[in-house]
Structure 1
């Protein structure tokens, strides 16, 4: 059977440990990493050398985000300082020092010139990029902020905390709209359905929960997994939610909550997921190294054609039988090395999503 998930590259990303990672969602071709070496490095999928190295922080980088156009990058540090870089101009354009607590979560507004930041002192702040100032501070969490996300319409911001709570804030009134307290562990990831008023949250309690944002009711919850879910992403068609665990990938639908498939991937700490053009891209990190992984969604249920999958399995069994082998179980073949371990067709397929860019080092005093 064709490989469903495999690693396409692994490389050393920083001189110190990698703390955070974010994939640009526009085309899923670039990602940024933040490390203990105080650097933010910009990468292109498939290239082992950085496209740009963004300096300026004096402490470890703890949170990152791209704007929707992938022209700007935000980096939040353990000192509480936030820096904004313009990638086209190749320079740092803003420094914000609003807190002395570690900036553990950060996100651009989907279309306005604002961004949100969350801190270990439990505060959530909304910043106006043009005015260079904080326009809202939300207090309500009892512990630090672990995840932050704007709703697609830009009206609300949702914060997940180390207090296990998910809070929904109205940007217009500055007030708390709802407080979800059904998780038993801190919030790892938050994502919104592309068409419906539906939110999913993943927690260290090893469950994923689905919420109706019109009624603020819990729709359903996954069963408790063996390991915690680190990153989640709705498929653009709105049918499913892909969840990344330490030991692989799962695919869910809801009402009722059903797990359709499980794919062994081999990644460790999953930093981010992205779905684009029929492929799922995952970036993971361990110590100072980064791994890039791909899964072919056409081979994963419920997208895989059941009859086609059965035929491929039968053909494989027949071939092995002809060679005197007995096949008890067909498993995913997940290579643990880089591009050289892939077939020429797979390598060509992945290279089709690469873009050629020249490395640039950006040093800011």
Structure 2
């Protein structure tokens, strides 16, 4: 397997952020937030249980992740500490497919934008690709030696991106089960990441308090942004 060499920061642009870079802060008045008891009905009315609501009971351990299909409003995937994933059909009975094969907890899930594939990442360090129509395993993608923290799909195809707690980001072609590139340079667990909407740039955030911007073809670092104590999520680019 050909792995791209680590690219260091020398010569790359860097930004340092502090409180002066905050655009707006918004205070939330908790009194304006609806209470759970406020939904449906006024004071004095008995709660009515909707018979169309189903409780899914496939998992035998804690749930760590859930994802909704972008093309099928009834299709939901879940994964958890029982080393399994499930595909569910909302309001259509119990689970449709059990996604078995991980050797440790299923930590993250993501549907491809066309809804045809589901990626599951595990604490076993592998990403599995599933056919959402049949529940069949399409391929297993290997390479990282640590836990998979998150998975994301390319906005225009079946390229899959995954972040690991061993400081790297990996990219594969899911249709061909082929490794494409690895992005190294973070100094700690890569806790979040994504493609930009045009698919031409990758951004990743880490416990090393940096966000790094990458060229997906070459693996080179385009830019480094420093200034947070840690990063758990990246805001949408839209």
Q: TM-score range by the shorter chain?
A: 0.7 to 0.9
Quick one: which of 177, 186, 190 aligns to 1:187? 190
Report what 2:68 is aligned to.
Answer: 66
Q: How does 1:35-54 map to 2 (within 5 A)?
A: 48=36, 53-54=55-56
Establish whether residue 139 from structure 1 lines up as the match of residue 127 from structure 2: no
RMSD: 2.5
Q: Which has the higher contact order (CA 8 A, sep 6+)?
A: 1
Report what 1:169 is aligned to.
Answer: 172
Report what 1:125 is aligned to.
Answer: 128
Q: Give 1:142 deviation, angstroms.
A: 0.8
Q: How does 1:1-365 map to 2 (within 5 A)?
A: 4-7=25-28, 48=36, 53-69=55-71, 70-89=73-92, 91-195=94-198, 197-225=200-228, 227-236=229-238
Q: Give 1:53 deviation, angstroms.
A: 4.8
Q: Distance in 2 between matches of 1:232 and 1:197?
A: 17
Q: Distance in 1 between matches of 2:225 and 2:54?
A: 40
Q: Distance in 1 between matches of 2:87 and 2:237?
A: 29
5+ unaligned residues in a row in structure 1: which ranges? 11-44, 237-365
Which of the two has greater strand per residue? Answer: 1
What SS class does the counterpart of residue 92 from structure 1 fall into? coil
Report what 2:42 is aligned to.
Answer: none
What SS class does the counterpart of residue 104 from structure 2 fall into? coil
5+ unaligned residues in a row in structure 2: which ranges? 1-23, 40-52
What SS class does the counterpart of residue 234 from structure 1 fall into? coil
The normalised TM-score by structure 1 is 0.50
Give the conservation status (yes or no) of the 8 Å contact 2:54–2:91.
no
Give the number of equivalent residue pairs: 199
Q: Distance in 1 between matches of 2:129 and 2:220?
A: 26
Give the conservation status (yes or no) of the 8 Å contact 1:103–1:119.
yes
Q: Distance in 1 between matches of 2:93 and 2:211?
A: 39
Give the conservation status (yes or no) of the 8 Å contact 2:57–2:94.
no
Q: Distance in 2 between matches of 1:68 and 1:150?
A: 12
Give the conservation status (yes or no) of the 8 Å contact 1:194–1:234.
no
Q: Distance in 2 between matches of 1:93 and 1:9?
A: 39
Deviations 1:328-347 (A, max 9, x none): xxxxxxxxxxxxxxxxxxxx
